[in-house]
Structure 1
């Protein structure tokens, strides 16, 4: 059985996973680009151009993942998130769908992930640092004339969506002109900790794990994604796996209710407990997300 300390340490330190594929594996031409985060950390990214298109989607990954996805078909990553969440997550397939639908795509590795720079001692503080990477990405887009002229949408998963919410809360002006956001699998770290420790029979030790996390990082897990959601005023679509074993439905429902946009939508994926089905939902059933982008990126 995992110890209380191991749960705290897993949230405190970002474990870097390898970038095993590139867009070339799906026959996509791409550019390797690099630019600084808002605090100067070098971020590695791919730009996948779509000839003749003036629409851009920025894709953001989950905690411990990278722009390629997550190699959960091989160890040690195969055992990281429990039974069922052990097949490869390949976001390159998502970029193929977006490209074929007429979008340019920019996707990057967050700090301490993939090939981006190491920073902050590898610590994760409830999206505080990752929000700076989102802000740096927005600045990069505006600094490059070809990208700055494009209609912009965001597709941010899990940690990527939480970091985006926090970045918008921190500096709303940086998102002026963003047409829409798709933010699936929103997750608050404290709710995640409660779920996974409960699954392990250690539910009564969650406060102890959070105390240990605070000792390791100086941060806390008390702030939920819903606290930043009122600042999110662009049209926003979110979705999740209702019976996901590593979170609870109320967390996503509270975040959705708090979103400040007058135009928002949400749906649940049923019939599975696998969070991985949420990560793969777009490549299996892209219609609803593509419709959202098509509606708002005209």
Structure 2
């Protein structure tokens, strides 16, 4: 029972409402849907449509949607006391001439349910990232556009895993740059929360037994297929992350890259909030490579 409880902490999608819309920020947008290779229908928006460069934004997992995280209605420990609103950085990107595709991962927000109703740390969600890139690459309005990937937490694991698999991102030369915000694996995450290794292993066995993926799987082999410049952004005070794992993640990337260590509040979600409050450095990075 304890193993199942711990496994559910990080693999049950939880309440992930799409709690606001682009109108709040005065943004023009289109509602879109597209399908992953296994048939899961994904729901999202293209904001500020029609530009010749577009950011694809991948959110983090449990209790998060394309719009971010809201503490409203949440019970137990809350990740953050106020809304973490990803539309803030979307507006900033649009102010600098970008379109933005924001979409919900499988089992989150308004996207469809998968046969496996759990968060897999990016393994199954990598199909969604590939689907988003494929959708934009074939879209009449964006087939000649440059693509930037802006991926957060589980979203960055999914993006990294999407390199080097069937139909992988290494095949898309229109992808020009990639920002990875706080990559992690769930094994490190749970141990960072104070769980002893033997309990994490017990939870991992539960997860594997019901068709989930290994908590300790890190996409190092996939990262070797990355062919674009990468920024890795990490709160150096994040208590739930093994910084050596982040360093290894960064060191494995074979292309031009930059590591940003931010001195933020001692909470993991501080970085998620920061990317909307201070998005200038991310825009500057994309501007360098997306002409």
Q: TM-score, normalised by structure 2?
A: 0.92
Partner of 2:246: 252
Classify the secondary structure of the residue corresponding to 1:231.
Answer: coil
Shift of 1:57: 0.8
Question: Deviation digits for residues 144-176 of structure 1, max 9, x if unmatched?
Answer: 121111111111111111101101121244432
Is 1:116 aligned to residue 115 of structure 2? no
**Could you say if the C-alpha distance between residues 252 and 18 of structure 1 is closer, same or farther in structure 2, counting changes exceeding 3 Å?**
same
1:269 to 248, 251, 262: 262
Once structures 1 and 2 are overlaid, which stretch shifts more, 19-28 or 135-144? 135-144
* 1:162 aligned partner: 157
Match of 2:74 among 73, 76, 80: 76
Counterpart-to-counterpart distance in 2, 1:174 and 1:124: 26
Change (3 A) 1:197 1:214: farther
- CA shift, 1:243, in A, is 1.8
Matched residue SS, 1:145: coil
Picking from 170, 176, 181, the partner of 1:179 is 176
**2:28 touches 2:48 (CA, 8 Å); kept in 1?**
yes
Q: CA deviation at 1:104?
A: 0.7
Distance across 1 between alignment mates of 2:75 and 2:69: 8
Which deviations, in whole Å up to 9, do the C-alpha atoms of 1:67-94 show, x marking residues without a partner?
111112x23167244xxx3321111111
SS of structure 1 residue aligned to 2:224 = helix
Q: Secondary structure at the match of 1:118?
A: coil
Q: Distance in 2 between matches of 1:124 and 1:274?
A: 22
Q: CA deviation at 1:203?
A: 4.9
Task: Tell me if 1:205 matches 2:199.
Answer: yes
Q: List 4+ stretches of structure 1 deviating above 4 A.
A: none
Partner SS, residue 148 of structure 2: strand
Structure 1 residue 143 corresponds to structure 2 residue 142: no
The whole-number CA distance in structure 2 between the counterparts of 1:135 and 1:77 is 33
Instruction: Give distance in 1, aligned partners of 2:221 and 2:77.
Output: 32
1:280-295 → structure 2 map (5 Å cutoff): 280-295=273-288
Superposition CA RMSD, Å: 1.9
Instruction: Tell whether the 8 Å contact from 2:12 to 2:119 is kept in structure 1 after alignment.
Output: yes
Counterparts of 2:281 and 2:75, CA distance in 1: 30
The alignment partner of 1:217 has SS state of coil
Larger helix percent: 1
Task: State the distance in 2 between where 1:265 and 1:184 align.
Answer: 12
- Paired with 1:100 and 1:172, the residues of 2 have a C-alpha distance of 27
Aligned-partner Cα distance in 1 for 2:242–2:73: 27
5+ unaligned residues in a row in structure 1: which ranges? none
Give, in angstroms, the shift of residue 3 of structure 1.
4.0
Q: Is the 8 A contact 2:43 2:110 kept in 1?
A: yes
Q: Is the 8 A contact 2:145 2:174 kept in 1?
A: no
Q: Which residue of 2 aligns with 1:214?
A: 208
| Distance in 2 between residues matched to 1:78 and 1:204, nearest whole Å | 24
Give the aligned partner of residue 35 of structure 1. 34
Write out per-residue CA displacement over residues 76-123 of structure 1, whole angstroms, 9 at most, x where no aligned residue: 167244xxx332111111111111111111111011000000112312
* Unaligned ranges ≥5, structure 2: none
How many equivalent pairs are there? 288
